[in-house]
Amino acid sequence: MTGCMVGPDYKPPVTEMPGNYAELAGAAGPGMDVSTIEETAWWKRFDDAVLASLVERAVAANNNIRVAEARVRQARSAREVARSFLFPRIGVGASVLRFRGSGALIDLMDAGLESNLFQVGFDAEWTVDLWGGTRRLVESAAAEEEGAASRRRGVVLLIASETARAYMELRGAQRELEVARATLDSQNQTLAVTRERQTNGLASELEVVRARTEAEGTASEIPPIEQAIREYIHVLSTLLALEPTALSDELSSPTGIPAVPERVEVGVPSDLLRRRPDIQAAERRIASATARVGVATAQLFPQMVLGVGGGFASRNSGDLFNGNSSADPSTYYLAGPSINWEIFDAGRRRATIGHSEAEVDAAKAVYEDTVLGAFREVESALVAVDRSRARVADLERLVASAHEALTIAQGDYRTGLLDQLTVLDAQRQASRADMLLVQGRVALTVNVVRLYKALGGGWEFAEQPAAAQASREAPSSSKENP
């Protein structure tokens, strides 16, 4: 009787994906492997121990991940609640009553109008899942739990990528500060040479003022960069669930911008369906909505409840457990099925089914949009990485040329072959080229992080150190909260 399950059986959506990413065909630079995709902790591919430590610590401590973990536990509890309806509910109880009845209304036999009632017993009730409504409810709750787990993985991936991005931008800002200070030193040297030339009658006061103005302009650019550095440290500290300045000592010393991996395994578009947590969560949403159609459909049919109860009841406490004594038996029992069938509800149950079916259609549309969005993110990240590589190569050549021109201009100015304006212009061009190269390298590393995030992998490796840390902390927690 309980083998019947009304409502549609869930079928995973069929998604047509192209064989390869279109942007890879037009990529001019090397470094993309389309044949395979390697499951790895991608943040370790930048070969920066500080970055790897920050990502793993953020995943272990970030508050948004804790919220997502709580949502998973909440969904798991909801599934356990739904599953409990498959089993009988059994209760026991005891009562002692003193009552007085109305002689005009009831006949209390020889008990008199006032009496006592002692009772100990149990009751059990089981709603038979004839039409599979409860089993569909369990299906829906299980899909919601799996969806919550996928959303948690999505938060892990987001926190890992945001930590990596903030770290790249921090190192870029520190490098910009070094460039600005080096430019200021160069301009101060030019100012000193100009003053020396003025002393010797070879330069005018205007040239001194122009040189000083250039140095002061560069000096004014340094405080905003220092501010950005402090703010990036605040962001990273917050991602690790620490107070904003907690990482100041650890991160204040500048190091180079992490080098991008030589090769990035991007695989094929179909890999996204198994790697992207948001796609997995959207697919589980369809499964949950489909099961709820069955839950609503089961309400159209009769509901059968099997009940049983029994125990001991007596007017005297001493006779409560006489059992089946012929003198004054105290046992009682009751058992039997009951059937409830709501035959008219003004269309409420049909409307509920329609509501659930509409949820399925909406979930399918969200799933398709999520897949398209994931595909778009990867394609955009691929072209961004490719063009960033090309831009960095161009900027490296620009920096070499600008510094060569600056060296020549400074030498010729000291010998009187060039005027001051040419030297100052060469300094501006060299400084600008250095800044553009720093920004280009930061953009390249950030775009590689963006590509890894779009591909959707790495969350499983981020969870391993966090789980290990949690297991190490578990004994102390259990001692504090027995």
378 neighbors 21 (Cβ within 8 angstroms): yes
Same domain, 403 and 469: yes
Same domain, 432 and 362: yes
Within-domain flag for 439: yes
Which residues neighbour 383 within 8 Å (Cβ) at sequence distance 6 or greater? 23, 26, 27
Within-domain flag for 37: yes
Same domain, 404 and 461: yes
pLDDT at 96: 82
364 neighbors 413 (Cβ within 8 angstroms): no
Same domain, 375 and 440: yes
Same domain, 230 and 266: yes
Within-domain flag for 398: yes
C-alpha–C-alpha distance, residues 88 and 356, integer Å: 28
Q: What is the CATH number of the domain that holds 153?
A: 1.20.1600.10
Within-domain flag for 7: no
pLDDT at 29: 52
**How many other CB atoms are there within 10 angstroms of residue 94's CB atom?**
11
**How many other CB atoms are there within 10 angstroms of residue 249's CB atom?**
9
pLDDT at 105: 56
Same domain, 249 and 122: no
- Give me the count of residues in the chain: 482
219 neighbors 178 (Cβ within 8 angstroms): no
C-alpha–C-alpha distance, residues 254 and 251, integer Å: 7
DSSP one-letter code for 91: E
Instruction: Mark which of 340, 367, 402 sits at the end of a domain.
Output: 340
Instruction: Mark which of 340, 367, 388 sits at the end of a domain.
Output: 340
Give the CA distances from residue 388 to residues 22, 146, 394, 455, in Å, rounded to whole numbers and listed in that order.
18, 38, 10, 18
Instruction: Mark which of 288, 313, 340 sits at the end of a domain.
Output: 340
Same domain, 101 and 183: no
Q: What is the CATH number of the domain that holds 328?
A: 2.20.200.10
The residue ranges of the chain whose pLDDT is under 50 are: 1-2, 28, 466, 470-482
C-alpha–C-alpha distance, residues 301 and 6, integer Å: 10
C-alpha–C-alpha distance, residues 133 and 298, integer Å: 5
Same domain, 446 and 336: no
* Burial tier of 233 (Cβ tally within 10 Å: 0-12, 13-18, 19+): buried
Residue 192 tokens, joined: 């000193």
303-306-308 Cα angle (round to 5): 155
pLDDT in tens, 297-330: 999 999 888 888 888 887 777 777 776 555 567 7
* Helical residues (DSSP H) of 85-132, grouped into ranges: none
Same domain, 101 and 59: no
Within-domain flag for 141: yes
Type of residue at 203: A
Within-domain flag for 393: yes
| pTM attached to this predicted model | 0.83
Within-domain flag for 8: no
pLDDT at 244: 96
Same domain, 311 and 288: no
Instruction: Quote the domain boundaries for residue 101.
Output: 90-105+112-128+303-340
Count of domains forming the chain: 2
Same domain, 281 and 320: no
130 neighbors 6 (Cβ within 8 angstroms): no
Closest to 168 in 3D by CA, of 253, 61, 260: 260
C-alpha–C-alpha distance, residues 41 and 44, integer Å: 6
Same domain, 204 and 287: yes
pLDDT in tens, 67-102: 999 999 999 999 999 998 888 888 888 888 877 766
Within-domain flag for 10: no
pLDDT at 31: 60
C-alpha–C-alpha distance, residues 67 and 152, integer Å: 9
pLDDT at 475: 47
C-alpha–C-alpha distance, residues 132 and 1, integer Å: 10
Backbone torsions φ then ψ of 92, nearest 5 degrees: -125, 155
C-alpha–C-alpha distance, residues 352 and 365, integer Å: 20
The partner residues of 401 in beta bridges, in order of sequence, read none
